[in-house]
């Protein structure tokens, strides 16, 4: 596909299609609409009318993300560099210089698929990304072929600990999405949007045991359909003097959630509100 044609699809056709599909999706998918509205009222304290308005915009945003995904194989160095900008790249470069193998923390914000896909182009280094395989094998193979086109590798979440350890020891960068709900076996309750929410503890536990930093990286869509990728200051494991492993995991996971909450508040429309993130949570007033 020519870059000019690609640009027309990316900046004109897809946004218009997303408005239609997003509104239709919002109207017919009662369950996801209710989850999004309830989440926005609970977390952001929006009145119902505003929550519904933001939820509709969120459905349109997510429709756009899904429509952009099939275009990723047509992305190249030229058009990627034309629609992506970086904020804080020195944090990435310095972390890579100081550590042979580290973690990246991100979430379903902006266009997370595009950000991962573009990382080898922007930073000249591929990622090992922890994923949950899709239930449909054919669709999973198709999606995986797109996700790995620029050199990234996918590690299935189930029984991934051994592979993650090996990747870090081999000097690889392991990326995890940290914003979805956890099971009781895999999570701990830590503050998130003024509640204690069950949150995955695996990333903090691995970072502590392997003594590696976690680099927060996320992105937001800008006004004209381009994206800005933000690289934040790395989060280091608390020192042993802080307490036992349980206390250190709690502290580090709390830091993760505090940062991600600030990211979501920056542009609530661009998060994945249709997920039952607060299903396992309790009111937290302290």
- Domain assignments of the chain as residue spans, ordered by start: 3-283
- Mean residue pLDDT of the chain comes to 94
Does residue 286 carry a pLDDT above 80? Answer: no
Whose tokens are 């239930």? That residue is 135
What is the rounded CA–CA span in Å between residue 195 and residue 276? 14
Report the pLDDT averaged over residues 3-27: 94
DSSP assignment string, 97-136: HH-SSEEEEE-SBS-HHHHHHHHHHHHS--EEEEE---SS
Whose tokens are 């508040």? That residue is 265
Does residue 285 carry a pLDDT above 70? Answer: no
pLDDT in tens, 156-167: 988 789 999 999
User: Highest mean pLDDT range out of 183-187, 224-228, 235-239?
Assistant: 235-239
Does residue 31 carry a pLDDT above 90? Answer: yes
What is the rounded CA–CA span in Å between residue 15 and residue 13? 6
Q: Look at residue 266 in the predicted model and tell me its pLDDT.
A: 96
Does residue 19 carry a pLDDT above 60? Answer: yes
The pTM of this model reads 0.95
Report the pLDDT averaged over residues 131-155: 95
Report the pLDDT averaged over residues 102-116: 97
What is the rounded CA–CA span in Å between residue 284 and residue 286? 6
Does residue 36 carry a pLDDT above 90? Answer: yes
Positive/negative CA dihedral, 132, 117, 11, 271: positive
Q: Look at residue 158 in the predicted model and tell me its pLDDT.
A: 83
Q: Look at residue 82 in the predicted model and tell me its pLDDT.
A: 85
DSSP assignment string, 161-229: HHHHHHHHHTT-EEEEE--S---TTTEEEEEETTEEEEEE-HHHHHHHHHT--EEEEEEEE-TTS-EEE
Give me 53's structure tokens. 């308005």
């Amino acid at each position: 596909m020519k870059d000019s044609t690609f640009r027309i699809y990316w900046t004109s056709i897809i946004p218009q299609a997303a408005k239609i599909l997003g509104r239709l999706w919002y109207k017919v998918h009662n369950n996801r609409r209710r989850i999004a509205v309830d989440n926005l009222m609970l977390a952001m304290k929006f009145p119902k009318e505003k929550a519904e308005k933001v939820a509709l915009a969120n459905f349109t945003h997510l429709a756009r993300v899904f429509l952009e995904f099939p275009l990723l194989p047509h992305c190249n160095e030229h058009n990627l560099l034309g629609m992506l900008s970086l904020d804080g790249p020195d944090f990435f470069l310095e972390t890579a210089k100081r550590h042979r193998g580290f973690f990246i923390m991100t979430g379903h914000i902006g266009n997370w698929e595009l950000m991962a896909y573009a990382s080898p182009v922007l930073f000249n280094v591929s990622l090992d990304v922890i994923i949950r395989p899709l239930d449909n094998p054919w669709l999973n193979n198709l999606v995986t072929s797109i996700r790995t086109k620029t050199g990234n590798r996918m590690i299935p979440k189930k029984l991934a600990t051994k592979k993650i350890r090996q990747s870090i020891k081999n000097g690889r960068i392991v990326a995890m999405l940290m914003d979805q709900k956890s099971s009781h076996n895999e999570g701990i309750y830590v503050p998130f949007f003024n509640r204690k929410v069950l949150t995955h503890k695996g990333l903090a536990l691995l970072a502590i045991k392997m003594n590696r930093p976690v680099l927060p990286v996320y992105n937001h869509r800008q006004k004209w359909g381009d994206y800005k990728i933000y690289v934040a200051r790395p989060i280091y494991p608390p020192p042993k003097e802080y307490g036992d492993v349980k206390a250190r995991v709690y502290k580090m996971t709390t830091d993760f959630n505090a940062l991600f909450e600030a990211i979501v508040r920056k542009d609530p429309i661009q998060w994945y509100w249709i997920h039952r993130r607060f299903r396992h949570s309790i009111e937290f007033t302290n």
